[in-house]
Amino acid sequence: MKALIAGWFSFPNCTPTAGDFMARDLIGSWLNSAGVSYDFLLAAPFEGGVRQEDIRPADYTHFLLVCGPYVEGLQTDLMRRLPHCVKVGINLSFLSLVKPGLISFDHLFERDSERTIRPDLTFICPVQRVPVVGRILVHPQPEYGSRAWHDQANAAIESLLRSRCVATVAIDTQLGSNAGGLSTAAEVVSVIGKMDMVITTRLHGTVLALKSGVPALAVDPIAGGAKIMAAAEAIGWPVIFTVDRLDADALVRGFEYCLTPEAVQLAKVCSDRAGRALESLHDEFIASILSTG
């Protein structure tokens, strides 16, 4: 026995979701436990399975269509290439189970149809959680002249993120033309506060993360360091690098440290330290205003 497992991930120019792949992998694990071998049918850009043009029908005893809406056309054409196979549908949605010319399934465990409704299969799929990392990059700053090394800083950050198993969230702290549709400071801070850590070339990326108790790996994109370096030093935050002294191994160590409970605690300590250092500023400011009135 050998099964060919297909779904929306099997067809060019379709848009399979994370749930499609989770359901696919769950079915694969069920077949493994039963001692049944299988192939995944995958279309580009996905790798690790067979392509439609490489299918050898005689290799398979079962055809499994997994997850998503059932639509005549792509799916029925594929099923007709495997007339001898036992056909099984699971976690599919149907507009109708009875249509002229519809290829029937030998076994059908639909998600929803005119005859039944089941919970989506992804409810019982195992999930691997990964750290969620906010990426906050500053715009080019030509005012720093030849000291502005933004391209190098961004390249180092992208290389670091590609080497880690994390979910990256691009966060824009600018208001008025925010790339993520955020319109207030409260919205920006709320998103940053949901991150496990932040990696940033922005001053306020660093400050708003630490203020929220979120560790920040900060890269000052100005050679020799400028305002980000000064801001970190002022409160004793250690995970700060200058673009002209980047070291890949040190970046990895800093990244891994930012995902520890110790880093979370230190972020809170540094935020509290900043608050204490600024305690007297209100009175000094007001006194200066009143003295010149």
* Inter-CA distances, 48 with 44, 67, 210, 248, 292, Å: 10, 19, 41, 30, 73
Q: What is the pTM of this model?
A: 0.83
Q: Is 208 helix (H, G, I), strand (E, B) or coil?
A: helix
Confidence band, pLDDT 50/70/90 cuts, at residue 77: confident
**pLDDT at residue 104, rounded to an integer:** 79
d(CA 88, CA 104): 9
With bands split at pLDDT 50, 70 and 90, how would you rate the model's confidence at 41?
Answer: very high
What confidence score (pLDDT) does residue 293 get?
Answer: 63
pLDDT of residue 232 exceeding 50 = yes
For residues 24 and 276, what is the distance between their CA atoms, to the nearest angstrom? 54
Give the mean pLDDT of 1-25.
94
**Phi and psi (nearest 5°) for 75?**
-70, -40
- pLDDT tops 70 at residue 265: yes
Task: Tell me what pLDDT residue 75 has.
Answer: 81
pLDDT at 74 over 80: no
Q: How far is CA 65 from CA 15, 103, 122, 123, in A?
A: 16, 12, 15, 18
Q: How confident is the model at residue 97 (pLDDT cuts 50, 70, 90)?
A: low
Residue 100: the pLDDT is 47
DSSP character at residue 12:
T
Residue 139 has pLDDT above 60, yes or no: yes
Contacts of 272 (CB under 8 A, 6+ apart): none
> According to the model, what pLDDT value does residue 102 have?
55
2-124 placed in CATH 3.30.1380: no
Query: What pLDDT score was predicted for residue 85?
Result: 95
CA 188 to centroid of chain Cα atoms: 18
Q: How many other CB atoms are found less than 10 A from the CB of residue 196?
A: 18
Task: Examine the pLDDT at 5 and tell me if it is beyond 50.
Answer: yes
Do 2-124 and 132-281 have matching folds?
A: yes
CA distance 198 to 240: 12
Q: Rounded to the nearest 5 degrees, what angle is found at the Cα of 76, between the Cα atoms of 71 and 81?
A: 160
Kindly indicate whether the domain formed by 132-281 is annotated with CATH number 3.40.50.2000: yes
Task: Provide the residue ranges of all domains of the chain, joining segments of one domain with +.
Answer: 2-124, 132-281
